[in-house]
Amino acid sequence: MTPRGFRFSAVNAGVKAPDVKSLDLGLIYAESPFVLSGMFTRNIVKAAPVIIAMEQAKRGSARAIIANSGNANACTGATGLADARSVMQAVAKELDIRPDEVVPMSTGTIGVYLPTERIVHKVPELVQKLSDDPEPFARCIMTTDTTLKVSRRRVGQACILGIAKGAGMIAPDMATTLAIVLTDAVMDKDTLDKVLKGVVAHTFNAISIDGDMSTNDTILACASSQVDADPEEFAYAFDEVVTELAHMIVKDGEGATKFVTVKVMGCANDRDARLIARAVADSLLVKTALFGADPNWGRIVAAVGYAGVNIDPDRISVRIQGLDVVTSGVQDRSFREEDLKEALQQHDITIEITVGGGMGRFTVWTTDLSHKYIEINASYRT
């Protein structure tokens, strides 16, 4: 089930180093121009491909996407921009399209110049290997990922295909990771922009593994506009695809042993609920307690208190795995430490926090923090 009009390929170009033999360079090509929408990192320090792709997304049309892992092409200045454009030109020449119709994406180590010659040398092979199978492309953008992240839905005769990578350096804003959502549904630029923005707000911008925002975060939505689809059904299916990708990222969090849902309710507005949920989800003390199945609920309440939201501490209630832990700001009378410790042994953990009687609510998905996370990130570059 692949959207009409798109083809895929991937090769090894030795992007990180010549002796690394995994797939690390991928291409998506469309037979005709596709509608392009995008959202990007809000980090002030933006990678060269992000700077270029932001302008392309504003224009709203493209023909191809060239992506690499192993090198972020970030903090590389004018040279990085020139390198990205050299790759775009090589792809454009091979496909007989304009360079500005090629959208660049990169992920990997920050501060290292792109090995442009090795990449350009592989472009003809990339074009020769184009096929209807998206899996090689999905594999080529993986870095510390341990699982393939692909999601599909049908909307009548139309198809939506989502591809993502991400396992670490995961925090909002924006659309944490590299992700591409392709569809053959008929879409105009304004509609696609609206759908993407609305979905990202409660999916990719509601996940956090380590609280670190990348320089390369990008999500692209591309429509080849070949099949009519019901607008409401399309928006619902698009939401399902992106939500599934976001959950896959959290479940594949670097060193993670738990998938944690943090629900905050009773706030004056959704913004306040989001602040509290993020504070709890990003707390290293909360994360380590979850890893050790330590029933130290005080860390959760403390995070609620420093989230920057004006609430009444005497109205805080916390439920974990269905157990009443905190009621009206103090430990619930029914609370038993051994019960919570046993409940925290499970892989999927749900923390429900109520802070008042308001209508504001927000949900964030996160992970615990294990020894393995430190091992992975202590040696990422070496």
Tens digits of residue pLDDT in 298-356: 999 999 999 999 999 999 999 999 999 999 999 999 999 999 999 999 999 999 999 99
Quote the pLDDT of residue 171: 57
DSSP letter (8 states) at residue 131: B
- 321 and 218 together in one domain: no
165 falls within a domain? yes
How far apart are alpha carbons 121 and 131 in whole angstroms?
A: 20
Quote the domain boundaries for residue 369.
Answer: 259-378
Q: How many CB atoms lie within 10 A of CB 31?
A: 12
Q: Which among 217, 251, 285 is the end of a domain?
A: 251
Q: Per-residue pLDDT for 64 more than 80?
A: yes
Q: How many CB atoms lie within 10 A of CB 305?
A: 14
- 225 and 266 together in one domain: no
- 311 and 247 together in one domain: no
pTM: 0.88
- 208 and 76 together in one domain: yes
Vertex 300 angle, CA 297 and 305, to 5°: 130
Mapped to the 3 state alphabet, what secondary structure does 212-272 carry? CCCCCCEEEEEEEEEECCCHHHHHHHHHHHHHHHHHHHHHCCCCCCCEEEEEEEEECCHHH
Which residues are catalytic, by number?
176
1 falls within a domain? no
Vertex 52 angle, CA 51 and 55, to 5°: 95
Q: Which of helix, strand or coil describes residue 79?
A: helix
- 171 and 23 together in one domain: yes
254-309 pLDDT, tens digit each: 777 899 999 999 999 999 999 999 999 999 999 999 999 999 999 999 999 999 99
> Quick one: tokens of 129?
């290997």
How far apart are alpha carbons 29 and 187 in whole angstroms?
A: 18
My answer on whether omega of the bond before 173 falls inside 30° of 0, hence cis, is yes
Q: Which among 251, 286, 306 is the end of a domain?
A: 251
- 226 and 293 together in one domain: no
- 231 and 340 together in one domain: no
DSSP letter (8 states) at residue 313: G
How far apart are alpha carbons 2 and 230 in whole angstroms?
A: 18
- 217 and 155 together in one domain: yes
- 176 and 282 together in one domain: no
pLDDT category at 146 given cuts 50, 70, 90 is confident
The one-letter code for the residue type at 249 is I
pLDDT category at 382 given cuts 50, 70, 90 is low
Report the CATH number that the domain containing residue 102 is assigned in CATH.
Answer: 3.60.70.12
Of 27, 25, 6, which Cα lies nearest the Cα of 14? 25
Quote the pLDDT of residue 214: 78
- 245 and 116 together in one domain: yes
DSSP letter (8 states) at residue 293: T
318 falls within a domain? yes
E runs forming strands in 107-197 = 149-155, 158-165, 178-185
Number of structural domains, the chain? Answer: 2
- 267 and 210 together in one domain: no
- 114 and 174 together in one domain: yes
316 falls within a domain? yes
pLDDT category at 32 given cuts 50, 70, 90 is very high
Report the CATH number that the domain containing residue 318 is assigned in CATH.
Answer: 3.10.20.340
How far apart are alpha carbons 4 and 17 in whole angstroms?
A: 35
Q: Which among 204, 229, 251 is the end of a domain?
A: 251
